[in-house]
Structure 1
Amino acid sequence: MTSPLPSPLPSPLPLLASDLDRTLIYSAAALALTMPDAEAPRLLCVETYEHKPLSFMTEEAAGLLTGLADHALLVPTTTRTREQYGRIRLPGPPPRYAVCANGGHILVDGEADADWHARVRRTLTECVPLAEVRAHLRSTAHPDWLLKERTAEDLFAYLVVDRALLPDTWLKELADWAGQRGWGVSLQGRKIYAVPHALTKSAAVAEVARRTDAPYTYAAGDALLDADLLLAADRGWRPGHGELADSGWDAPHVRALTERGVLAGERILREARGALRAGS
């Protein structure tokens, strides 16, 4: 059994900004349960979609997350839209703050901060418009592997694709084209994201840290869209899977974990707990 943390740290609390999908929570396809069935961890469903279970974490991770509530300010930091984030029910008290749409929205007690969103909108004049990027995606994606084409909160675009049929050359060509126009590209599972460089998780988390006077910030993430978040943190963790692991990305203050799948989410929370113990 996990021993309890010391008495809660005095306010203000440190901030734990974590990506969600494939970092803290996992779809059935991303669980990576490679152990014998009898040794698999018990799972807790934290999201349903169209009346079906969609995302999970281990019960041990759920206990760790609940135990952190009095010792750190959890800020879910996701590329999900506000609607998609609203389906998630993490264990423990509801987070006071959340970052959605890759930094496009800060939620405060579940409500979007209009001033922050307006500030973000002003920064997006530095890149080509979303409509131009979307038109390029539509004209170059092949129907053999394109499953869906979507925009998120009128901020960025993404495709859902058949990974087995997706040509590697197409993704590289898209990244080159987008980079010259102030946009970045990220491949996460079956989704290809095209996101403005000016739209970052780190900027939104820095604003939350400013408002809460957080003395330091921890962060976790697995994708290229999490790199700026990890670099801006005082300490961070990345799983043994995902774009960052596949590319060999690292930083001196970011620990590269070996665990993959849902056990990586559990390990991240255990590492955060250890950091809080040391910091206290």
Structure 2
Amino acid sequence: MIFAADLDRTLMYSKRAINELGEPKELDLTPVEKKDGYWVAYMTTSSFQALKELSQQHLFVPVTTRTTEQYNRFVIFPEEISIKYAITSNGANILCRGIPLEEWSEHINTRLQSESISQAELRSILHGAGFHFDGQMRHAGKQFFYYILNNLPSASDKKVINELVGKYGWRISLQGRKLYFIPKAINKGSALEYICKREGMKAIAGAGDSILDWDFLQNCQYRFVPRHGELAGELTTTKFTLTKKYGVSAGDEILQQFLKLLPLKT
């Protein structure tokens, strides 16, 4: 059986996220991501053990907006947690045992050329409409870009921006201080559906915190959303389970739910 989950602010939490979400200091944490020689992201030790046990008997698919390079900073994959497939760059890439699937990359490139304008054209339109973002811009390869903002947009500005870019085959997602601009052709749902068909299996359970995660959660029979996430405040449907806890504790709660749904052989 397949289970899939977003990583950042769903199962794994940076030091900034842990501090922002007010985690109690007595939590037992396991480091999972290393950058420049330093540990920068964590899971609770109990959620780490649960994920390790589940991935030994079921097919776990990490689903992330991170680029492949950023995803590879999670040193637990595949050293301690077995991974066959991983979805990176919000669905632009599917890794099979760490190697990008060329047929999927070609499929995405074809869709991008026909369904959306370029990054440069979109930024020009945004500037022409009077939108200037206070923060650092980052490119996620050739697929999309995002800003690490000093000041967050208002709800009304966010709505206007999304409607504007939607006319050109793009959409936005605000995750913490990161404002993502992503072509609609790139989505996690299509990538997970491709893996399911390739394996001849269904996705039983999934979890994610952002609007971008709803694409793949719709392919899952059971859906879990952290109470602190972007999705929690945006969705009007009731077809998902909201965690009772916030922050890294929500990640632990999600994996305990996965354990109930996905039986382990003893």
Q: Given the two structures, how large is their TM-score scaled by the length of structure 2?
A: 0.90
Distance 2:236 2:148 in 1: 25
Asked whether 1:51 is paired with 2:40, we answer: no
Distance 2:83 2:201 in 1: 15
C-alpha spacing 1:70/1:84, structure 2 compared with 1 (3 Å): same
Query: Which AA in structure 1 matches 2:209?
Result: D
Asked whether 1:133 is paired with 2:122, we answer: yes
Aligned 8 A contact 1:231 1:251 in 2: no
Query: Which AA in structure 2 matches 1:183?
Result: W
Paired residue for 2:140? 152
Paired residue for 1:17? 4
Calculate percent identity across the aligned residue pairs.
Answer: 33
Paired residue for 1:62? 48
Higher mean alpha-carbon deviation, 49-58 vs 129-138, is at 129-138
Q: Among residues 246, 251, 260, which one is paired with 1:260 in the alignment?
A: 246
CA RMSD in angstroms comes to 2.2
Paired residue for 2:261? 275
Query: Which AA in structure 1 matches 2:75?
Result: R
1:260: Cα distance to partner? Answer: 1.0
Query: Which AA in structure 2 matches 1:223?
Result: S
Paired residue for 2:59? 73
1:93: Cα distance to partner? Answer: 2.9
Distance 1:54 1:160 in 2: 17
Paired residue for 2:105? 117
Q: Among residues 153, 163, 166, which one is paired with 1:179 in the alignment?
A: 166
Paired residue for 1:90? 76
Secondary structure, aligned partner of 1:225:
helix
In structure 2, stretches of 5+ residues that fail to align are none
C-alpha spacing 1:242/1:209, structure 2 compared with 1 (3 Å): same
Aligned 8 A contact 2:203 2:219 in 1: no
Secondary structure, aligned partner of 1:24:
coil
Secondary structure, aligned partner of 1:93:
coil
1:261: Cα distance to partner? Answer: 0.3
Q: Deviations over 1:70-127 (max 9, x none)?
A: 3211110001001000101237333111000111000011111111100011112212
Query: Which AA in structure 2 matches 1:129?
Result: S
C-alpha spacing 1:152/1:137, structure 2 compared with 1 (3 Å): farther
Distance 2:102 2:204 in 1: 24
Query: Which AA in structure 1 matches 2:229?
Result: G
Distance 2:131 2:65 in 1: 22
Secondary structure, aligned partner of 1:21:
coil
Q: Among residues 204, 210, 216, which one is paired with 1:223 in the alignment?
A: 210
In structure 1, stretches of 5+ residues that fail to align are 1-13
Query: Which AA in structure 1 matches 2:146?
Result: Y
1:66: Cα distance to partner? Answer: 0.9
Distance 1:136 1:55 in 2: 36
Secondary structure, aligned partner of 2:259:
helix
C-alpha spacing 1:276/1:151, structure 2 compared with 1 (3 Å): same
Aligned 8 A contact 2:23 2:248 in 1: no
Q: Given the two structures, how large is their TM-score scaled by the length of structure 1?
A: 0.86
